[in-house]
Amino acid sequence: MAFIKLQELTKTFPHAAKSAVKDFDLEIKKGEIITLLGPSGCGKTTTLRMIAGFEKPTSGEIHFGSETIFKQDYSLPPEKRGIGMVFQDYALFPHLTVVKNVMFGLLKWNNKEKKKRAIEVLELVGLAQYANRYPHELSGGQQQRVALARALAPEPKVILMDEPFSNLDANMREKMRYDVKRILKSTNTTAIIVTHDQKDAFAVSDRVVVMKDGVIEQIDTPMEMYRCPKNCFVAQFLGKTNLLTGKMANDLKHVYTHIGKVCLPTKSEQLIDEVTLSVRPEGCRLVENGKYVAEVEDVIYSGEYQEVTVKINTEQGGKQSIFIHVPIEQQVKKGQVVSFDIKPELVSLVEK
């Protein structure tokens, strides 16, 4: 049985032309970290709020194991759902010390037990030495770990986090992704995290749910999702990619595109006439005597690699831009004529 099961969860706000979330289906295992990923307004927060009980679904069902949390005409109140919430702005009580903030959620316990448990979770998040400080005496990352400790203290069935990394600077953000994952995994805590940032999603999750306009586009592990995006939207949302259209060859292993023949990673199961390919920039490699010849149009240095745009003359007499990641040690200049190959493993067939 699924630890958490969301069934055809739908929310249509009054007077809205379209549903904010439509037929959301998901089964989550105990201890799994799931992220809801998608552009602003796609329904991530609404989904999270329905699970928490802050928003009443228009239809659908929510089950925690064998317990029904929500169905038509029945809704378990938020405080009885066993949920730990971490808000984007952390929502710590400014007038309470760190330890008192963490003790706050432990309603049924006596004071001594509350303190013992609070110190225990503060140790887990590496903040026991800050127990008597006030929130304003902590950095953003530390405040977030207090918020996480407070949510974890009552041992909730699931932790819900809405855009937990968006108020942090780049370095702290990277560290917190790692810390949050480590803390959740060490306690085998099930979590649903909302983010619009692909790097957040990939770094912390076991599985990612990509959403668009209230609808699930794809559910997969980060690696599967990146290598085999289902459609153009998912492919483009997960980072830069080159979309090429073409006709499949009879061998089912190649596609004739505007820039020439491109090899697929595996043989297609069926002959599809018109296809779209997603070719990742890191799947293109500048080499001598490569299969595709192009002229360098632009070079941007990103630190980790060079983002190079090249132009290829198409067989139809037009031009096609291709985006390539080039290692920093390789010399490339604007106007230079180069040639490249495409690694089939980083090519995928996508739906329109």
Which positions lie near ligand ADP, rule CB under 6 A?
A: 13, 16, 20, 38, 40-46
Query: Minimum distance from CB of 14 to Mg ion (Å)?
Result: 19
Beta carbons within 10 angstroms of residue 53's beta carbon: 19
Residue 194 Cβ vs Mg ion, minimum distance, rounded to whole Å: 6
Of 45 and 242, which CB lies nearer to Mg ion in the complex structure?
Answer: 45
105 binds, among ligand ADP, Mg ion, none (CB under 5 to 8 A by kind): none
Could you tell me where the DSSP H helices lie in the chain? 44-52, 98-103, 111-124, 140-152, 170-186, 198-204, 222-227, 232-237
* Distance of closest approach, residue 176 Cβ to Mg ion, in angstroms: 18
CB atoms within 10 A of CB 315: 12
Which partner in Mg ion, ligand ADP, none is near 327 (CB below 5 to 8 A by kind)? none
| Contacts to Mg ion by CB under 5 A | 45
Measured from the CB atom, the residue of 10 and 309 that comes closer to ligand ADP is 10
State whether the Cα torsion 182-183-187-190 is positive or negative: negative
Alpha carbon 261 to chain centroid distance?
A: 33
CB of 40 to ligand ADP, least distance (A): 4
| Residue closer to Mg ion, measured from CB, 45 or 276 | 45
Partner whose binding site includes residue 156, from Mg ion, ligand ADP, none (CB under 5 to 8 Å by kind): none
> In a 10 Å sphere around its CB, with 0-12 CB exposed, 13-18 middle and 19+ buried, how is residue 6 labelled?
buried
| Sign of the torsion formed by the C-alpha atoms of 4, 40, 42 and 74 | positive
Nearer to Mg ion, 198 or 306 (CB): 198
In the complex, least distance from residue 243 CB atom to Mg ion, rounded to whole angstroms: 28
The tokens describing 56, both together, are: 């009443």
Q: Which is nearer to Mg ion, 10 or 97 (CB)?
A: 10
User: Which helix H or strand E contains 275, and what residues bound it?
Assistant: strand 274-279
